[in-house]
Each structure stands twice: as C-alpha cells, then as structure tokens.
Chain A
C-alpha cells in the first residue's frame, strides 16, 4: 500500500476562501495541500502556444486566455459561459432554471430543485472559484446587521460584532485590493444613522475610488435631497460610489497586483465592461492571484481535478483523520482513481453548497442538524427603463455606485432591507440587450440601414436598470440535502435544494418596487419593467407579481453561532463536533443582510486562518 500524504493543513476548494487559508498558512511555513474539484489554468495567462519541446506533452495547455476564447464564441454569455461545464465537477447554470410546477422536481441542471421556488444562484467549479466571475463589490456589513435578532426580533444574531471583525475587514481590503474612499464608505453623510459604519480613524483603502459612471453622476444629481417614506418615517435616497475589488489608482506605496502569468496586464481597470462573466485582463481581483501568492511560499501544493467526497472520522478523538478524493484526468470521462490524504487540520472551503454536501455525504459535523440549512441569497429584483437622455449605457464596470441609504432602519422589524445597485450595462441583465434584442428590430420591427442604425444609436445609450438586492432571513427549511437517487458522473451527490421566499422578503421586494417607481417618476424614466408568470423567479405578494433573480450570493448552510445545538461552527469557525475541522466561506454567515458577502467572508477567512495557525501551534 502507498503511504498516505500528510500535511499540516488540507484545504478543500481553491476559491477565494481556500486561497486565503493556503496563502496565510503557507507564508508562515505550514505545509498545505489544496484539493480543487474543477480544472485549472496552472498560472498561465496565455495558452501554451507551442507543443514541442521536452516535457510539454502533445496537447497545448490552456491558460486564462482559453476562458476568453470560450466566452467570445458562447451564444449565451451567462456568468459561467467562459468556464466549460465539467461533468466530473458539475456546476449550476442560470439557463437550467424554470418555474417549478407544484410538487414537481426540477432536475435538468446540476441542482435538484424541489421548490416551491427555484434557487436562482450559481457558482463556478474551477480553480479560482466564483471570483472568476464575481462583480467585485466589496461592501462592509452594517453594525446592526450582526444583531438583527436583538434589534428587530428577526433572523439571528452573529456570535461576533462589527467591531470584532473590523480589523479583518482591513486585512481583506488590503489583500483583495479594494478601491474606495473610507470617508465616503462610512456613510456618515447619509441622514440615516442606521447605515453609518465606523471606520478606524486614519484608515483608508489601498486604492482611490473607482470613477463613477456618467449614469451614476446623472442619477446622483437627479436624486439630490430625495427622500422616501417607509412605515411613516422618511429615509434618504443617496447615491454613493461602491467599493470595488478592482485595480484603480494606488494610494501611497501600494502596488496593484496584475494578472497571474502576465503581471503587466490588469494593473488598472481598463473598462472592458465584462467583470461578469470574466475580466479579460484580471484588473478585477480573482482568487488565482492569492493562489499564485500561496504557491510562491513553496509550502503550498494545489491539486486540481481532485474531488473530495468523504471525510473519515477517528471515533476515538472525533478528529477528521482522512480526506478521500477522486482524481480524474479527463473532465469528460468518469475514469478516476480514489486517493486519500491526511491533515492535522482540515479546512472545508468548497463553497456553501459543496461544503454542506460533503459534510452530509460524510456524516460529519451535523450534531446540530443545521448542516445544509438556512440557505440564503439576495433575491434580486430588477427594474428597467429608458432614461430621457443618453446616459452612456454598456460602459464601465458592471456597477460603480449604489443607493445604500435604505440598507438599515427600523422598518426591518416588518420587512426586508435592500440595497439598490445601479447597473451600468443597460438592459443586458433583464433583456439580454443588445445581442438578445437587436434581432427583433430586424425581424419584427423591420428596420434596416439608416433606420436601424439610428434606432440603436438613440435608444440603447438610454437603457438603464436597477437591481434591488433584498435581504433574506435564515430559514431552516431553505436547505441543501443529498439523495442517493441523484448523483453526478463520478458518483458524487448532486445538491438537492428546497427553497422558498418568505413574506418578509416579499414585502421588501414590494417596498423596493415602490421606491423604484418614485425614482422613475422623479427622473422621467420610461419604464419597461415586466414581471411574467413564466419567469422562473416569479412570485406574488398582496396580489402583485414580482420576479427575483439569483445574485450569486450563496450564504448559510453551516452557520456560526454561540450554541452548539443551533449552529455548525463556533466563532472561531471551527466545527462544534470535530476539533480539527474548520469551515470557511459564506456558509458560516448566519445572516446575509444587504451587502455582497465576499468581503465579509474574506475577512472572516483571514480570521479563521489566524485561528488555524494558533491551533496548529497548540497541537
């Protein structure tokens, strides 16, 4: 028998949280193995262009650029379009979604969706994870977000406070490379105290704020001094630029990190307007950068195409004694070999859904019966229309500003809070414009020549949309489970999902729509918003129809808490049940609040890395 490889730390998953753990511990001399279920690009930016020479084998090796090839020629440019489906590590796609008929199960994608509503978010199973296609929004949570049970009698409190996490926010912002202005992000100028975020005095982000889009500035001046009345109280509607994990103008001695494999590229955002699904130059942060830094420590090994499927428990100590994984060489062939590794500490960083799946498949860490439960997202409602004048749609990062002034307040007793995202890409999300809409101008509107050209030139630059990221509360019935009936081609479980949207969140959507209507009135926007019962995310509230989309913010599934009976990990992000098992990622977050979760998750993960390091010292 072969001896089993042994590491200080075995990390499952090479996305942002796994990369952070590997880099932090590798840089302190710990021997780390990262197992990644999907494929990778091996630190190459460009495709290996020659196949001669020693050691190259026959095939050309794909680099990051191969994702661009796939993206450009994909008909549906969905978030996962550049990252080919891998039957050995399948991933959910937005094109899998359909309305779920009563008591039916939707099985046509990777997810097995039992409804009653479809879970609409997706993620990427490849080296670098979903940061390959994230937008890069790096908002901090509000102080009140950590204690909504206490403050509003809703959801759950976190076992930590904003001030506990603050220093880790700073670490995450430095390492991701966030461009923003701290004074602005404290929201201290917004006349709604509930949203104020204290920043350490003297602190600022490593790079200057990304310039706002022309649309942002147009809207900012159009909405100046606007207020809306919610539950009898007036709230401001303020446009604020969004902190972003993309390279801008550095402050002081900070040096932006360019593309992995060609560091001259991506040192500053160049306005490719393609953050989702892929930044062509890696000016937007992705976890490949942290993985490259981890490997530079020479203590970190990354094994791609290795799917962890079972965690073995030592019955005497309750330690995770072994990690079993299936290694394959061809994504399209189920042929694989089963291997085993040992780690003093095991860190699951495979993503909220995959972490839960692996724990359920292994029967570990679930004494609370909370593994897989409390799955959350930001049900994202869009409204769209035509501005009265050209605002330069389809330019710049996907979103450079938002309206954060309604993220917090007393109304959270009654209904969900939301953040408004101002979209820079016209109707690309709601209507698939322009590629999805121009054929209609030619085939149905019967335009050609100058008429066609003038129509596009005069209408499309006026296209505009809002996204309302509505808070969803932890609900034990929104959950990931496994079922032996549903497996992928390697024989691993597919996630089975039960999901619904509560009235609390629906009431938030209704309020969001009202706010949108008022803003449209004020700006003279010609509304084109339409919610159709045939939309997968269609729902009703008090007789009105609304449609939500997935935000890609998968949160919950192994929440942290202060009680082992009601949570999966403690405030150190360690499993209550297994002394050497740590869980990282958005799955730890007990609530989702109104901020895109990646920054908070990264901050938590830097903290977790510190905890793991200390735990190793005590072993």
Chain B
C-alpha cells in the first residue's frame, strides 16, 4: 500500500499547488498517515482510484468538473476529499461529518494518537499550512518575514511556480 504518489497527485488537483510545492512543505507524509489512520483503506483506495481514472479519461469535460462529478459530489468520497483540502490549507484534521461517520466510519486503523476528532496535525504542519502563502503572508508566529516588511506593498507576485507551466 504505497499511496504517497496518489496522495500528492490528488492533493495537487484539490489545492491547485504543484506536487513539488506540496512536497516542499515536508509534511505530506504526515497528512497521509493521519488520513490512512482514520479513513478506512477501502475508501481511500476508491478515492485514489477515482482520481486515477479521471486523469486517464481523455474527456472533453474539464478535469475540475470531473472531480466535482466523481469525487466531491460523492457522499462517500466528497467529505474525505474536503478534509484533505482542509489539512493542506489549515493543518487541521476536522472530525468527519456525523452522517458519514454513521455510514462509513471505522475504528482507528493505526497510531492511536490520531483519532477522528478535531486536532492540529503537528507543530510543523501548522507552519506549513498553505493558507498563509495563499493569502500573501506567512504563518502567524513562524517564517518571520523580517523587520519592516509589513510596510511593503502587498505583492501580486505569488510563487512563480504557480504562474508558469
């Protein structure tokens, strides 16, 4: 069961960040561990499989719509995908919705430190939350930008990685 590549590919599509940028946070493997501890593996296999077939499908429909069709609007997979987005952006695992837990939830499948309750994944994960760079700043309390930088005109230049290729 090596889902890391699948996880990065799907995460890149869900967040609009490049795989290298997600790897560059250094916490992707932690997120996958949280995910595979809390979410039943059959559901994860289905989720990654769905994304692989979306990519493979040579459809005229835009990929974004295919993701909405096949994943986000799927009662089983949608909440999982949304939790993946929230983990990347906010570094927090949110408890799965009540109705989802009734239907699909399973007891913890790995490290008991990860339970399906709301928690900050780790200190490093907080610092690597994507929301901060997306909003043009830095995580509050970390990645200090330096004296006086708050007086600069906010930059429209987001990472050149996201504007090229």
Contact = CB atoms under 8 A, between A and B. Distances in A.
A75 B149 contact: no
A563 B158 CA distance: 63
Among B81, B120, B127, B148, the most chain A Cβ lie within 10 Å of the Cβ of B148
Given A73-B126, A449-B67, A461-B136, A211 B148 contact: yes
Interface string A272-290: 1110001011000000000
A460 B135 contact: yes
Interface string B129-159: 1011011111011101111111111101010
B89 interface: yes
Contact of B136 (A248, A270, A274, A457): A457
Contact of B119 (A75, A248, A439, A451): A75
Interface residues of B, number: 48
Given A214-B150, A438-B86, 12 more contacts: A72-B141, A75-B119, A271-B149, A390-B136, A390-B154, A391-B154, A394-B140, A396-B151, A443-B82, A448-B72, A452-B16, A457-B158
A217 to B, nearest CB: 7
A443 B148 CA distance: 36
B13 interface: yes
Interface in A281-307: 281
Residues of A contacting B: mostly: loop
28 contacts: A72-B127, A75-B119, A211-B151, A214-B153, A248-B147, A268-B147, A270-B146, A271-B144, A271-B148, A272-B144, A273-B138, A273-B140, A273-B141, A392-B136, A392-B154, A393-B137, A394-B137, A395-B137, A397-B150, A435-B92, A438-B86, A439-B90, A442-B85, A448-B72, A449-B15, A453-B15, A453-B17, A461-B154
B150 A271 contact: yes
A457 B134 contact: yes
B140 A69 contact: no
A450 B18 CA distance: 11
Contacts of B149: 271, 395-396
B136 A435 contact: no
A392 B142 contact: no
Nearest to B150: A396
A213 interface: yes
Given A271-B145, A274-B141, A456-B135, A392 B16 contact: no
A439 B156 CA distance: 24
Q: Which 7 A-B pairs have the closest CB atoms?
A: A396-B150, A392-B154, A274-B141, A460-B135, A270-B144, A72-B123, A394-B137
B155 to A, nearest CB: 8
A269 B13 CA distance: 38
Interface of B: 13-17, 64, 67, 72, 81-82, 85-86, 89-90, 92, 94, 118-120, 122-123, 126-127, 129, 131-132, 134-138, 140-142, 144-154, 156, 158, 162
B64 A271 contact: no
A160 B117 CA distance: 56
Interface residues of A, number: 55
Nearest to A428: B140
A74 to B, nearest CB: 7
A400 interface: yes
A489 interface: no
Contact of B140 (A73, A248, A425, A452): A425
B85 A213 contact: no
A158 to B, nearest CB: 36
B147 A271 contact: yes
Interface in A227-262: 248
A273 B94 contact: no
B85 A452 contact: yes
A450 B64 contact: yes
B86 A439 contact: yes
B113 to A, nearest CB: 12
A88 interface: no
A453 B134 contact: yes
Contacts of A450: 16, 64
A612 to B, nearest CB: 38
A3 interface: no
Interface centre among A77, A394, A446, A460 (most CB of B within 10 A): A394
Contact of B131 (A74, A397, A438): A438
A369 to B, nearest CB: 45
Contacts of A268: 147
Contacts of A175: none
Nearest to A439: B86
Contacts of B94: 439
B150 A75 contact: no
A71 interface: yes
Interface in A194-219: 211-214, 216-217
B89 A438 contact: yes
B16 A214 contact: no
Contacts of B156: 390
A435 B129 CA distance: 10
Contacts of B145: 270-271, 395
B144 A449 contact: no
Contacts of B138: 271, 273, 395
Given A211-B150, A453-B16, A446 B137 contact: no
A426 B150 CA distance: 13
Contacts of B132: 394, 434
A216 B151 CA distance: 8
B141 A214 contact: no
Contact of B90 (A71, A394, A438, A451): A438
Nearest to B121: A73
A434 B129 CA distance: 11
Interface centre among A269, A390, A448, A451 (most CB of B within 10 A): A448
A434 B135 contact: yes
Nearest to B117: A75
A451 B127 CA distance: 23
B135 A272 contact: no
A401 to B, nearest CB: 11
Given A73-B120, A394-B137, A435-B92, A213 B131 contact: no
Most chain-B Cβ atoms within 10 A of its Cβ — which of A72, A428, A450?
A72
Contacts of A391: 154
Contacts of B14: 448-449
A454 B16 CA distance: 10
A457 B150 contact: no
B135 A449 contact: no
